[in-house]
Structure 1
Amino acid sequence: MPHFVFLPGTLCDERVWKFQTQEFTDNTVVNLRIQNTQEAMLDAVKAVQAKRFILVGFSMGGHIAQEFALAYPERVSHVISIASSSEGYPKEEKEVSLKAKEFIKKGLFKGITDRRLKEFLHPKAYENQELRNLIHSMSGEDAAQVYLNQLDATLERRDLSKEIGSLKMPFIAIGGEDDKIVSKESILRIKDHNSAADIHIVSECGHFVPLEKPEVVNGILRLLL
C-alpha cells in the first residue's frame, strides 16, 4: 500500500482525518498547529520519513499540499486538495481572519463558535451533534495561539493558479457543493489552469468534506491504490 500523508486544516488536528486514517493505515498526519511560517509548515511535510507519498490536504492543508508539490515534486506521487482552491486566501475569509486576530489580541478568541459552524457545515451535517463536538474539541485549549500561528503562516498565501499547470503528478481537487468558505466555482476553476486535474464536487456537503462525506473521500482515495 502506498504511504498517505494527511495535512489538517486551520484549527484541526489528526481527528479531521479519522475516517481516512482508519482505512488507509500506512499514513502520517503532519501537525500544522505549531509553525508560524509557511516555510516551517513545508519543512514539517519534508521531514516525513517516506521518500514518496500520496499527499492529501484539507483547507489550509490543501494549500500547503499544493505548495509542497510545486516545491518538491519528486516526493509526491499524487496531490489531493480538499476544500481548497489555488487562488490564495478567499477575500471574505481573509476579512474574517483579520478580525479574529484582533479578538486574539484582546483575549476574546475561544475557538470555533456554533454560529461559525453553521457557515462551515451543510445543514444536515450541522444536525450531527457528535460532529459539532468533534470540531469544537479539535480547536483545543490552545486555540488562540494555534490560530495565530496558522494565520501568520498562511494569511498571505500565494495565488498558485498559474503554477499548478506545471504539476506532472495526478492532481485531484475535491470540494463541497454547498461550501460557503471555498466556493465550488473556485474549485472548478482549477481545471482552467491544470487541464489534467480531476475535479470532484460533493453534493449536500459544506466545508468539512473529510468529516461530512468520508465515504466519498475514501472512495476517491481508494482508486489510487
Structure 2
Amino acid sequence: MQDVARKVLADAPPEFLLAGFSLGGICALEMIAQAPNRIAKLALIDTTARPDPAANAAIRRRAVVDARTKGMDGYILDAWARLVAPSNVDNAELRQAIIAMARDCGADRLEDQAEMAIHRFDSRVRLSDIRQETLVLAGAHEQICSLDAQQELADGIAGAQFQLIENAGHFAPLENPAAVAFYLRNWLPSSSA
C-alpha cells in the first residue's frame, strides 16, 4: 500500500482533495500520512483504518483461488448478501454493475488488492495527525468494513463528520448515489468564493 500511495502521489497535483472508497480509502490514509501538506480535504467512504486481522490472509487468498476457478461472477455472488443492504439484494441492475466491475478487475488485480489489504498499515495510530476537514461516509448496512471501525475513523480524526448512508451496504456509492453525492457536494469547496 505504501508503494501504491507513492505512485498515486507522484501523479497527483501539488494540492488536491482526496476521496477514497474501501481499499481506496485505506490508500487515502496512507497518502495523507506520506504527504499531509498536499491534501486539502479528505473523504473516506466505506473503509477502515484497522489492520487486516491475521486470519483474513488465508480467507483472502482462498477467495482469489476461488475467483480464478469460479470466475469473478462467483466471487461476487458468493458474498452478495454481505456486500449490499438487504433492500438491494434483489436489485439485478446493481448486481450486474458490480459483477461487471469485478470482471474488469479480474483475478490478477484481485490478488494484488488482496495482498495490499493483508499487508496494510494500522492507520489508527495516525488518525490524530490528520488536520484536514474529513468526511466519513458509511452504508448503514455495511458488513465488510464494520460500522464500529468507521465510527473509530470519525472519532480518531478531530472534527470529522460521520454520516450513515441509508439503503446501502458496502457499495454505498452505487447503492445510494444520491445520498453519497449530497454529502460529497457539501464537502467540496464552494465555487462562489
By the TM > 0.5 criterion, same fold?
A: yes
**1:193 to partner: Cα distance:** 2.1
Q: How many pairs does the alignment contain?
A: 186
Residue number in structure 1 paired with 2:134: 171
Looking at structure 1, the residues matched to 134 and 31 of structure 2 have their Cα atoms a distance apart, in angstroms, of: 13
Q: Is structure 2 residue 69 aligned with structure 1 residue 108?
A: yes
Looking at structure 2, the residues matched to 83 and 91 of structure 1 have their Cα atoms a distance apart, in angstroms, of: 21
Identity of matched residues, %: 23
Q: Is the 8 A contact 1:56 1:80 kept in 2?
A: yes
Amino acid in structure 1 at the alignment position of 2:69 = L
Looking at structure 2, the residues matched to 141 and 63 of structure 1 have their Cα atoms a distance apart, in angstroms, of: 21
In structure 2, relative to structure 1, the CA distance for the partners of 1:93 and 1:82 (3 Å cut) is farther
Q: Is the 8 A contact 2:48 2:149 kept in 1?
A: yes
Q: Can you give the 5+ residue segments of structure 2 that lack an aligned partner in the other structure?
A: none
| TM-score using structure 1 length | 0.75
Q: Is structure 2 residue 93 aligned with structure 1 residue 130?
A: yes
Q: Is structure 2 residue 117 aligned with structure 1 residue 154?
A: yes
Residue number in structure 1 paired with 2:166: 203
Q: Can you give the 5+ residue segments of structure 1 that lack an aligned partner in the other structure?
A: 1-37
Residue number in structure 2 paired with 1:47: 10
Looking at structure 1, the residues matched to 54 and 180 of structure 2 have their Cα atoms a distance apart, in angstroms, of: 27
Residue number in structure 1 paired with 2:48: 85
Looking at structure 2, the residues matched to 51 and 91 of structure 1 have their Cα atoms a distance apart, in angstroms, of: 36
Q: Is the 8 A contact 1:205 1:213 kept in 2?
A: yes
Runs of 4+ in 1 over 6 A off after TM superposition: none
Looking at structure 1, the residues matched to 105 and 170 of structure 2 have their Cα atoms a distance apart, in angstroms, of: 23
3-state SS, counterpart of residue 47 of structure 1 = helix
| TM-score using structure 2 length | 0.86
Residues 83-142 of structure 1: per-residue CA shift (max 9 Å, x gap): 1111122567555313224436xx415123323122101122222211111111111266
Looking at structure 2, the residues matched to 201 and 90 of structure 1 have their Cα atoms a distance apart, in angstroms, of: 24
Amino acid in structure 1 at the alignment position of 2:18 = L
